[in-house]
Structure 1
Amino acid sequence: MLSAAKKEFIEFMMSADVLRFGEFKTKSGRLSPYFVNTGNYRTGKQIDTLGKFYAQCIKETCGENFTAMFGPAYKGIPLATAAAGALAREYGINKPYFFNRKEAKDHGEGGSLVGYQPQDGDKIIIIEDVITAGTAVRETVPVLMNAAKVTVNDMFISVNRCEVGQNAGKTAVMEVKEEFGIDVHAIVTVKDIREYLAGEGNYSEMLQKMDAYMEQYCVL
């Protein structure tokens, strides 16, 4: 049963043109009938609302049991910023956040990390948009591990596409857990999106495409 919060989040993504239906080529080269582009959030109200959804997921999962939140460049930067603000405002959880530069800065304070500077023993959570093949995570974890002796146990994303990663029979989320010990928590999954479409009643053609795609690429 689709919860009211999940339904609200799916409708929010659709209203912002972030969740789109059609034919899209993903980073992994697959032709998907749906696409999630968090780059389409573009107003103060949208990023404020998005931050609340992430903050709620973080609060329910971790509470205050983490040191700082990291947003990988580039899309993770506004996500971590919005989540940090919402956690402080909605729940009184005031945690630092930081992000990386794609290019290390060679003047001023220098370095590749902006904001909080990780310390040995820190518990870091990662804030991202989606995971399709897990490529971004494999790029992100070394950045954190090179900065300090930190632990990364949790990662938060908007949508879990539940798709096969590099190994048959395993999703990218499963691989991230096996390789790095990171639990990935999604606000919604592709199953939730499919359930939402089925409940709306006017998406029969899209449901057929979703089912065919999920049967080929998803581990549910």
Structure 2
Amino acid sequence: MTSTPTLAPYKAEFLQASIEGGVLKFGQFELKSKRVSPYFFNAGNFYRADLLRAISTAFAKTIIEASSPIAVTPLEFDIVFGPAYKGIALAVTTVDKLAHLEPERFGKICYSFDRKEKKDHGEGGNIVGAPLRGKRVLIVDDVVTDGTAKREAIEKIRNEGGIVVGIVVALDRMETLVAPGGQELEDKTSAIGAIRREYGIPVLAILTLDDIIWGLRQNGKEEDIRSMEEYRAKYKASY
């Protein structure tokens, strides 16, 4: 049985804020994949100031950790990119928090996001914020479901001349991909694992399913813990 012995304080604080703020819920939820999940994470619910502060802090500290000079392969980037729509607020607030926490390193970091539809007047274009051409771009978003939205974001950035250097998401569900229509695949690859292999870039997460189960063990209902462990055992990816 997989377990997480401890969590970094910022991860534990983010997990607690997600539960208390109703962002992370437990019960029965039908996913896009048609699986029935014992939990649901909705980053769109981080609309309250204290919750927005919690997620921006968690993103910033995850990025700072990954870009540390002592990391095996330090993450280096010029722009934080948020795919429309949920990613927009994440990119803007993460850049602000990075600059606040480490102004010498990140005081000049920029943000960008895309439009769903190309603007045909004014300055026009598909991108709002810093120009992407020739820049190293880090994508931030809520989760990777089947990878479609992240592939679209990568292609948009590349079409603008940007270089995607990585992706950071709020949650890694750690589960296998599902075929269109909900059929289970023999390949036990996760959506995150598929993106890593396809593009050769790191995909990081603030929290994983293992982290959530760890948090529940500290102060959760036995029924929720059992349901989460059964779900993990049934669908956990090999990566």
The TM-score, its normalising length taken from structure 2, stands at 0.86
Whole-angstrom distance in 2 between the partners of 1:199 and 1:45: 23
Q: Secondary structure at the match of 1:129?
A: strand
CA contact (8 A) 1:134 1:165 kept: no
More off after superposition, 44-53 vs 9-18: 44-53
Cα deviation digits, residues 47-104 of structure 1 (max 9, x gap): 1232111111111112582111100000000001110000111111120100001111
Q: Equivalences for 1:70-109 in 2 at 5 Å?
A: 70-92=81-103, 93-94=106-107, 95-109=109-123
Cα deviation digits, residues 120-162 of structure 1 (max 9, x gap): 2x211000111232222122111111111x3222111111101
Structure 1's unaligned 5+ residue stretches are none
Which amino acid in 2 is paired with 1:91? E
RMSD, aligned CA: 1.6
Do structure 1's residue 117 and structure 2's residue 131 form an aligned pair? yes
State the 1:207 CA deviation: 1.7
Whole-angstrom distance in 2 between the partners of 1:119 and 1:76: 20
Partner of 1:176: 195
Whole-angstrom distance in 2 between the partners of 1:164 and 1:203: 26
Partner of 1:213: 231
Partner of 2:40: 35
* Match of residue 6, structure 2, among 2, 10, 29: 2
State the 1:117 CA deviation: 1.0
The TM-score, its normalising length taken from structure 1, stands at 0.93
Whole-angstrom distance in 1 between the partners of 2:96 and 2:192: 27
Q: Secondary structure at the match of 1:128?
A: strand
Count of residue pairs the alignment pairs up: 217
Partner of 1:134: 147
* Match of residue 47, structure 1, among 37, 48, 52: 52
Q: Secondary structure at the match of 1:39?
A: helix
Whole-angstrom distance in 2 between the partners of 1:176 and 1:98: 21
Whole-angstrom distance in 2 between the partners of 1:133 and 1:213: 18
Partner of 1:61: 66
Whole-angstrom distance in 2 between the partners of 1:6 and 1:42: 19
Greater than 4 Å deviation, 4+ residue runs: none
Which amino acid in 2 is paired with 1:96? C
Whole-angstrom distance in 1 between the partners of 2:235 and 2:52: 31
Which amino acid in 2 is paired with 1:82? T
State the 1:9 CA deviation: 1.3
Which amino acid in 1 is paired with 2:88? I
Partner of 2:181: none
Whole-angstrom distance in 1 between the partners of 2:212 and 2:236: 13
Which amino acid in 1 is paired with 2:59? Y
Whole-angstrom distance in 1 between the partners of 2:222 and 2:53: 33
Q: Secondary structure at the match of 1:48?
A: helix
